[in-house]
Amino acid sequence: MARVTKCRSCLVKDQSEKVKVDNMYFHDGECLDKYRKHKQFLEKEKQQKDELFYKLLKIHNIEKTIEIPPLFYMKIEEIRNDSGLLGKVDKRYKEGVPYNAISYTYDYCKKNIENVLLNMNFENKLGEMYYCLAIVRNNIVDAYNHKLNQMKQEKIQKEVVTQDMSLDYETPKRIRKDEMDISDIL
């Protein structure tokens, strides 16, 4: 008699044969595939998050990620999870701006951020980082539109190159009529 176990994906308790992965039981097939896709998604998110925070270290001249204030991590997560600042807080899971888009926006606003860091004095790193994050938050849509335009231009450029490289040039053939030709009359 098999032990009653619960599938971690569909939360159904039964005695059927299940696959054991990382000390958790899953139904073979859809539940297991769903778990593996979610795990891959989380690994990708983790890599993007690490890239973003290493970029923040460079921008703010911080040596270690430990020196980034914990409140700043919360602000980044609010942007990522698309948490509303006003009214009832609905818990959303990874529905906001992805980490790589935030990272691209930091690149897009690099000149503005450098100008602010040179010309303004902040009391602490947290204030400096919040100010830069506010710049980034205000320019996310502009960076997105900029990225779309770049992608369109690259696509058009590739199409032009492929059209130029094609050897299917058709030259119109001109048939010269001889003055002595009488085939039109016949």
Print pLDDT tens along the chain (186 aa).
467 888 888 888 887 777 777 778 888 888 888 888 999 999 999 999 999 999 999 999 888 878 888 889 888 988 888 776 555 666 677 778 899 999 999 999 999 999 999 999 989 889 999 999 999 999 999 999 999 999 999 999 888 877 766 556 666 677 777 777 777 676
Q: How many CA atoms lie within 13 A of 67 on its CB side?
A: 12
pLDDT, residue 82, reads 79
9: which DSSP letter?
A: T
Predicted TM-score (pTM) of the model is: 0.73
- Between CA 51 and CA 103 the distance in angstroms is 8
- Going from the C-alpha of 133 to that of each of 41, 58, 94, 178, the distances in angstroms are 25, 14, 19, 79
CA angle 55, 59, 63 (to 5 degrees): 80
Q: How many helices and strands in the chain, by DSSP H and E?
A: 6, 4
Structure-block tokens of residue 80: 């990522």
Domain layout of the chain by residue ranges: 46-157
Beta-carbon neighbour count of residue 26 at 10 Å? Answer: 23
